[in-house]
Amino acid sequence: MNKLTAFFTKEKRQAFFIHLGISLGIFLVLLYFILVYWYPHPLFTTDGGWQGIRLIAFVDIILGPLLTLVVYKKAKPRLVLDLTIIAVIQLSALVSGTWVVYSEHPTLVVFIEDHFKPITAYQVNEAGVTADAVKQLSKHHPPIAFLDLPNEADAMQALLKKLIAEQRPLSLVGELYRPLTESNMEKIRHAAVDMDSALKDRPEDMAKYQHYKKQNVDTVNDVIYIPLHSRYIYSMAVVDRNTLRLVDVLDILVNPKNTADESNDKQLSVQAQFF
């Protein structure tokens, strides 16, 4: 007990809490950007928002202050050097962790035939689309794009062969991204899933769906439900019927509906995004 008391001196505790306070301030600023700009609702839970917060919290709140607690001693020789080294380590780790969180945040949501797929910042670059071009696709945050697949069988086959040769997923064919025109929006609405029919033989998921409707009784008639294929979970996006803004997500997986005129080529095109 005496050794423990001797270790946690008043000076050590003061240094620890000062460092912790500074780190918390930095963390709160980054948390604001994560919640508001980088991982806005409802994509925070589906595309790595929690994972990003945990990474930054460990680096910023835990790593630095703990190192200060260990090395701090008021009369210690080269104390300033030790604290400087800790600051450099913490800052380097924080910058690296923040860059990872930023580069993996959903910058765009693409509608691919029958579902939405969030695209990260680094994937947008891989798709060959500039930041200015992304902003022109829609006024939503993040913007929504429509993937304009060829209707002709020959053109679809040619596209698939090209993607296979390039080892490029369908979701990153940036040259096929189109803005949310009224025509494209109507095609997206056509992909909406009839939840009552889809869940009639799934009582647990039906209970989740009914609970959501009870909690949102004022807006339940203003939304549609479209599959959302995110990095961490597949779920159902709750989408504003008029604007197609993503309102919420339901932790329910429903296979996209099959329309009568869906061709085999279109089915293959959807599979192509997963290689």
Mean pLDDT of 134-140: 92
Burial of 91 (0-12, 13-18, 19+ CB in 10 A): middle
Contact indicator for 69, 12 with CB cutoff of 8 Å: yes
Q: What is the mean pLDDT of the chain?
A: 86
Average pLDDT rounded to a whole number, residues 218-233: 92
**Of all helices (H) and strands (E), which one includes residue 224?**
strand 223-229
Cβ-contact 177, 147 below 8 angstroms: yes
**Res 268 pLDDT > 50:** no
Query: Dihedral sign, CA of 147, 111, 240, 129?
Result: negative
For the cut 80, the answer to whether the pLDDT of residue 30 exceeds it is yes
Q: What mean pLDDT do residues 32-46 have?
A: 92
Q: What is the pLDDT of residue 147?
A: 96
Say what the pLDDT of residue 4 is.
53
Provide the token pair at 120: 């990260």
> What average pLDDT score do residues 157-181 get?
92
Q: Is 167 left (phi over 0), alpha (psi -120 to 50) or beta?
A: left
Inform me whether the pLDDT recorded for 259 exceeds 60.
no
Q: Is the pLDDT reported for residue 270 higher than 50?
A: no
Which pLDDT band, with edges at 50, 70 and 90, does 203 fall under? very high
pLDDT at 12: 82
Residue 235 parent element (H or E): strand 234-240
pLDDT at residue 264 tops 80: no
Apex CA 10: angle with CA 9 and CA 11, to 5°? 90
* Average pLDDT over every residue of 205-222: 93
pTM reported for the whole predicted model: 0.82
Q: How many CB atoms lie within 10 A of CB 114?
A: 22
For tokens 């609405």, name the residue: 189
Query: Residue 238's beta-bridge partner residues?
Result: 225, 248
Q: Beta strand pairing status for 144-147 and 106-112?
A: parallel
Confidence of residue 78 (pLDDT cuts 50, 70, 90): confident
Q: Residue 269 pLDDT more than 70?
A: no
Lowest mean pLDDT among 2-11, 76-85, 161-170: 2-11
Q: In this structure, what token pair is assigned to residue 181? A: 């025109």
The amino acid at residue 55 is L
